Amino acid sequence: MRGSAGLDRTGGPGVQGTGVGVLDKGELAGFLGGLIARYRVFAPVQEAETTRFAPVSSAGEVTMPATVTSRPLKEIFLPPSETLLEFEVGTAGGMVSSVKVEPVGPGVGVGTGIDVGVGTSDDDSDRPRVIFGTRPCDARSLLLLDKVFDSADYKDGHYVARRRGTAIISVACNEPAETCFCTSTGGGPFDEAGSDVILEDLGEVYLVKAVTDRGAELIAGLEGAVPGFWRLSRPAEDGIEGGGRLEAEDDERLEQLLAAGRDARKRAEARIPALVPARGIHEKLKVIFEHECWGELYRKCLGCAACAYLCPTCHCFDIADEAIDSKGRRVRCWDACMFPMFTLHASGHNPRPGRKERFRQRVMHKFSYFVENNGDIACVGCGRCIENCPVNMDIRSVLASLDAISISPDSSASPAVSAGAV
């Protein structure tokens, strides 16, 4: 190995009840090897100038970036392009006589070339999946995508199959990047939401904390099989007197490590720039939809959609049929509200004809509409949109400018706005 409130789906009873382990940092490669021997493991890999999650067969293939990977975790669960079904049209006498439709299981992401499938006939893809090296913001983003693709009202079969067959092992961020603002979006550099297991870097060792029952089962299976890894707590065993209790020495060691973890969390959170009003701007956005500020805020935006494609929570897609002669397939591809064709009607009418309307839509969707529909903002503060914008637009400055708008007592926005920070 090279280098080194609304979201409650952790499903576990808590660290003390599910297990805490310790891993010598020098044995991280062995830890990965233990995972690879038991699971189909995805981890960060280097591809040219980018890092992304991909299947790995050895620890040597893994490259942990300093913070988040260049490409978002979502492409493992929602590939940029994938086939949903195949069809064949039969004809007789020049007329359609039959249509044969064959659903396609979640398999290779066409746009990535990465096999992200589950449950196919291939032996390897039938193995339980583990994603190692997720940062807390990306793990949290999955809980937001769940609200769209695995809700009570709608379940996307491809997404759900991948999601439910995958355990998430995160690594906390000891040194967040300057573009990170996860603490403004409800998360944090040591946030456990969305993870099954989280590793906290405490210097010489990693504190390995099971967050869910699935995570506890995962690390229990590694004890004794991975050099340099041992558990400090064990789930209670029914019918066995004393089950679940720690030896006094382990108990003291556990308290020391948990205290060190809390200190590391405080230091990491202190590195993140001042809070921006990401979660508190929902009500204001509802009354400034027509405000003249949008006419200034959007001007630098090129409409390239790099922000949307690299965002771990953006999930817009298009569906198209591709056919040659009588056979074809239905393909789902990523799309973005920043593109002029996204809302173009068949009549030729476009309700968002300009970049201003499309820029406003993206901000409104993330920080207002998603809150109304799902109870949280659609942003985890990973900073990819800031890091990769070709004209250096910064969503934190956009939010600060919107927050600075004065609202009159009758809830209508004042005409004045400062967009100088954008």
The DSSP result for 2-32, as a single string, is B------------HHHH-EEEEEGGGHHHHH
d(CA 241, CA 373): 48
Q: Tens digits of per-residue pLDDT, 127-153?
A: 889 999 999 999 999 999 999 999 999
d(CA 369, CA 350): 20
Give the pairing type, strands 20-24 and 50-55: unpaired
Q: Tens digits of per-residue pLDDT, 5-28?
A: 344 444 333 444 458 889 999 999
pTM given for the model: 0.86
Question: Among residues 104, 40, 114, which one has the least CA distance to residue 79?
Answer: 114
Q: Tens digits of per-residue pLDDT, 18-76?
A: 588 899 999 999 999 999 999 999 999 999 999 999 999 999 999 999 999 999 999 99
Question: Among residues 104, 107, 124, which one has the least CA distance to residue 115?
Answer: 107
| Mean per-residue pLDDT over the chain, rounded | 86
Count of C-beta atoms within a 10 Å radius of residue 224 = 11
| Predicted pLDDT at 104 | 86
> CA triplet 378, 383, 387: central angle to 5 degrees?
135
Q: What is the mean pLDDT of residues 389-400?
A: 96
User: Which residues are CB-contacts of 190 (< 8 A; sequence separation ≥ 6)?
Assistant: 136, 172, 173, 198, 200, 261, 264, 265, 268, 269
Q: Tens digits of per-residue pLDDT, 251-271?
A: 788 888 899 999 999 999 999
Q: What is the mean pLDDT of residues 337-350?
A: 94
Count of C-beta atoms within a 10 Å radius of residue 3 = 11
